[in-house]
Each structure stands twice: as structure tokens, then as C-alpha cells.
Copies of this chain bind each other. A is one copy, B any other.
């Protein structure tokens, strides 16, 4: 019987079990992580929980801060007790999970309270992670109706204010809130967020509202104001999302039902579970033959799955023959059908038996369907329960699965011109997600640099040459 329901103290005690079964039952499905959260991280989280309890929704400091926001008054640095960062619901679910973790880490580093815009469905997907006080932004928050219009060109954005010189480090009277635009289309002024000097200014603003679709943690490592703290929090550097993800993201009971029923019906009895996440970014919906070829070249080449005997010679099952369950996720069913038929129509050369499963094929991203994102979330979680994982380049959906699972996946390279890349895949050097659109700027020297070459533990990603990811520095450069 597993006893460590709280992941070695990562999770706070004292929640109502029934209200969020996944928090306590996940130990029944996950292998124990080889990575332990550091005592410093754990105490930081406990402190955060205290802060959240003190400053969270509908507390006196919250009400005061909202009052100030509503009044539109400008503020001097000492005028508020609690400071907030609001995560605006934006982009696909994989992206959202990564950005929420990034924003939470930023909150930890800057002593802010994280509040989550629930968008259409966040409350149906995730349990409350903090004891006692909700992490959701109250529905009567005064400027929620502006969130949709916030964008790269918004006058409220910090980048635009810098560009127009409305604000600068020496400004005394600061606005009660600033909009931070850290989405893929952000410009050089928006990117000044990653400079220590600007952080000093931001630190004085009680409300920060952030819209992002990027896992921006790697660039925080390059900032001297955060670097030391980050290294203390995460002595195993590639575990940032792994720990924060397991701390923050607990599927609601409805999603947990999807996860546990699927696991028990299709995966539990296998000797080994292999996850294959297929996401293509071609213009058409597929399926494409070159992707079929890539999947089999990768899984068989890397010995994740056995080869088949084209002549159909049946190998008598041996003592070592295993039942392997392949969990595939994809918007379409074609890749699944191909793998499934391969192992149905032909025997394996090892005598292993391969069952292939795909929970859904939603055909396209369709966030309006109530179950759509629940299924997406359930599938990321199910992938994270695999023993071995294959993911698709560029996809945050896969990053979430690898991070939660503590897995270094084999990444299926993005294809050029619809041909199978050679090699078809590569083992990731770290389980951290990739920051797809990092800045390439040296704030002190005020010039461009290759930010993937500054420190050994922040490198370019395997799947996106200009991206940045955190790795453990014992890996060679």
C-alpha cells in the first residue's frame, strides 16, 4: 500500500479528499518519482500557501487592492500589502498548463499572489491547489472584460508603455496595474520583462495581468535577480515543471474519472506502457504516410516496440514475452490505426504482444465542446503514466505529459516537406519543456546574444533550434 500520498511533502495536507480525488489517488497510478522536491522548495510552497491564504480572494488585503484597481489611482511603492499576478486564460490546454506553471514560479520568485482567470473551463479541469483560498480570480474582478482585448498593441501593455516612454525605472507614480504581453508575437519592448532592471519597476505595481503562451522559465534562469533562488529551489534543475506541475495540476473529479476508467479498462493489466503523442503541424489534417513511417522507424529503431515479422512466422511466446500497451493520442485516428493494424496483422519478432489504444480522435481543436479539453487533459495525464514516452516536436501537449511523468521522451522531429526525418526521433536531454520564443538580448550589454550559450544549464531545445530549455548541467554541452 502506498503511503506517501503527498509526494514527499510537495503537496499540502488538509484538503477534503472527496472534493479532489486525484490529489490523493494519483499515487495509485504513478510510479514514485525518482526526483524529490528540495526542502527549500517545500518550505517556499508552504510560505506561498500562507501568503495565498492571507491575500487570496475576498480577504481584506484583496478587497483593498481591488478597490485601488477600481479607483484607477496610481500607486507609490509601499501603498499595498499584497501584490498579485493574474494569469489570463489563453491558447491551447498544453500551453495553458505550461504558462500557469511559469507564472506561478514567477509569483513565487516575486512574492506575488497568483490568481487564475477561469476562462470557459479552467474550473472544470483543475482542482484548487492551495488550501482554504481559491486560486480563481473572483468573477466580479473589475477588469476581466478587458482580458480579451489585451494584446501586443494594447496601450496598457508594459512593452508599449516603455516604447512610448510613458513609464521608466525612475517613474514614481505607477499605474495600479500593468498588462504583460508574453505571447509568441511579443516584441523587443515586451521582452524587456526578462531584464532585472525592469523587474525592479514591476515589483512596485500591485496588479500584473499576464497573457502568455510560452513556458518562459528558462529565461528566468538567465536573470541575476532570480538565478540564485532558482538554483536553491531546484537543485535538480530539470525538475522545475515536474515538481510545480505535480503541485499545481490536479484533475477535477470528472477528469479523474476519465483518467482512471481509461487506465483500468485499457492500460492497467499490461506489463509495460508506451505513450505515443502524435501532433502534426501540417496544413492538412492527415494522416500522412511519412508520419506512419516516422512512428515505426522511431519506436522500432529505439527498441520501444518490437519489429514485426513480415512473413508472419509466429514466435512461440517465451518466458520473457510481454504484453505492452501502447497509448496513442492524436487529433486523428489514422496513426493509431496504422500501429494497431501492424501489430494485429503481424507477429512480433520477440513474441511480445502489443495492444494499441487511443482514447479520442477529436479531428480538430474544438474548445467549445465541454468534454473536449477534459479529454485533452485526461490524455496528457494518461501519457504521463507511461513507462516510455514518444512525443511530437513543438507540442506543449507532449511537454506536459513528459514533465508530469518525469520522463525524458523520444521526440519525433518535425518534418520538412512531408518526408520522414532521419533520424526520425531523438531522446530528450531533459524532461523540461522548451521555451519556444525566448529573447536573445543581453540586458546589461544592451545587445543581442545567443541566450542558449550563456550558462550550461540553459540550452537550445532538441526540437526547436532557437528555443531554450533547462537541463541538468552534468549533461555535456
Binding site for B on A (CB under 8 A): 21, 253-254, 257-258, 261-262, 264-266, 269, 312, 314, 323, 343-347, 353-356, 359, 371
Q: Is the CB of A323 within 8 A of B257?
A: no
Contact B312 A254, beta carbon cutoff 8 Å = yes
Q: Chain B: which residue is nearest A346 at the CB level?
A: B257
> Across the interface, do A344 and B262 meet the contact criterion of CB distance under 8 Å?
yes
Check B269 against A347 for contact (C-beta < 8 Å). Answer: no
- What are some 13 contacts across the A-B interface (CB < 8 A)? A257-B314, A257-B346, A258-B344, A258-B345, A261-B343, A261-B347, A261-B353, A265-B323, A265-B344, A265-B354, A265-B356, A269-B323, A345-B371
Among the listed B257, B265, B345, which residue makes an inter-chain contact with A355, where contact means beta carbons less than 8 Å apart?
Answer: B265
Contacts of A21 in B (CB 8 A): 314
How far is B253's CA from A269's CA once the two chains are assembled, in angstroms? Answer: 27
A58 shortest CB reach to chain B, Å: 29
Complex interface: chain B residues within 8 A of A355 (CB): 265-266
Q: A266-B355, A269-B269, A355-B266 are in contact. Are A344 and B261 (CB under 8 A)?
A: yes
Asked, given contacts A312-B254, A314-B257, whether A344 binds B323 with beta carbons under 8 Å apart, the answer is: no
Q: Tell me the bound Cα distance from A343 to B262 in angstroms.
A: 9
CA A435 to CA B420, docked complex, whole Å:
54
Considering the chains assembled together, what is the distance between the CA atoms of A262 and B344 in angstroms? 6
Is B257 in contact with A312, judged by CB distance below 8 angstroms?
yes
> Which residues of the partner chain B approach A347 to less than 8 Å between Cβ atoms?
257, 261
Residue of B nearest to A356 (CB): B265
CA distance A287 to B344 in the complex (A): 25
A314–B264 Cα gap in the complex (Å)?
Answer: 14
A19 CB to closest chain B CB, in angstroms?
A: 13
Contact B359 A265 (CB under 8 A): no
Task: Indicate whether A343 sits within 8 Å of B265 (C-beta atoms), given known contacts A21-B314, A314-B21.
Answer: yes
With contact pairs A323-B264, A355-B265 given, residues A253 and B314 touching in the complex (Cβ less than 8 Å): yes
| Distance in Å: Cβ of A413 to nearest Cβ of chain B | 29
Q: A253-B312, A258-B344, A262-B344 are in contact. List 9 more A-B contacts (CB 8 A).
A: A21-B314, A257-B346, A261-B343, A261-B347, A261-B353, A265-B354, A265-B356, A344-B359, A345-B371
Q: Shortest distance in angstroms between A358's beta carbon and chain B's nearest beta carbon?
A: 10
* Chain B residues with CB under 8 A of A258: 344-345
In the complex, which residue of chain B has the Cβ closest to the Cβ of A354? B265
Closest to A267 in B: B355
CB-CB < 8 A to A314: which residues of B? Answer: 21, 253, 257
Residue of B nearest to A333 (CB): B333
Residue of A258, A266, A354 most packed against chain B (CB within 10 A): A266
Q: Using CB atoms, name the residue of chain B closest to A264.
A: B353
User: A359–B355 Cα gap in the complex (Å)?
Assistant: 11
Closest 7 CB pairs of A and B: A265-B355, A269-B269, A264-B353, A265-B353, A266-B355, A257-B314, A254-B312
| Interfacial chain B residues near A312, Cβ < 8 Å | 253-254, 257
Expressed in whole angstroms, the Cα–Cα distance for A253 and B258 within the complex equals: 38
Name the B residues within 8 Å of A269 (CB-CB). Answer: 269, 323
A356 partner residues in chain B, CB cutoff 8 A = 265
Q: How far is the CB of A309 from chain B (nearest CB, A)?
A: 10
Could you tell me the distance between the alpha carbons of A312 and B312 in the complex, rounded to whole angstroms? 45
Complex CA distance for A266 and B266, rounded to whole angstroms? 8
- Name the distance in Å between A14's Cβ and chain B's nearest Cβ: 22
Nearest chain B CB to A98's CB is how many angstroms away? 26
> In the complex the two chains form, what is the Cα distance from A346 to B374 in whole Å?
13
Alpha-carbon distance A347/B254, docked complex (angstroms): 10
Query: In the complex, which residues of chain B have a beta carbon less than 8 angstroms from the beta carbon of A262?
Result: 344
Min Cβ gap A339→B in Å is 12
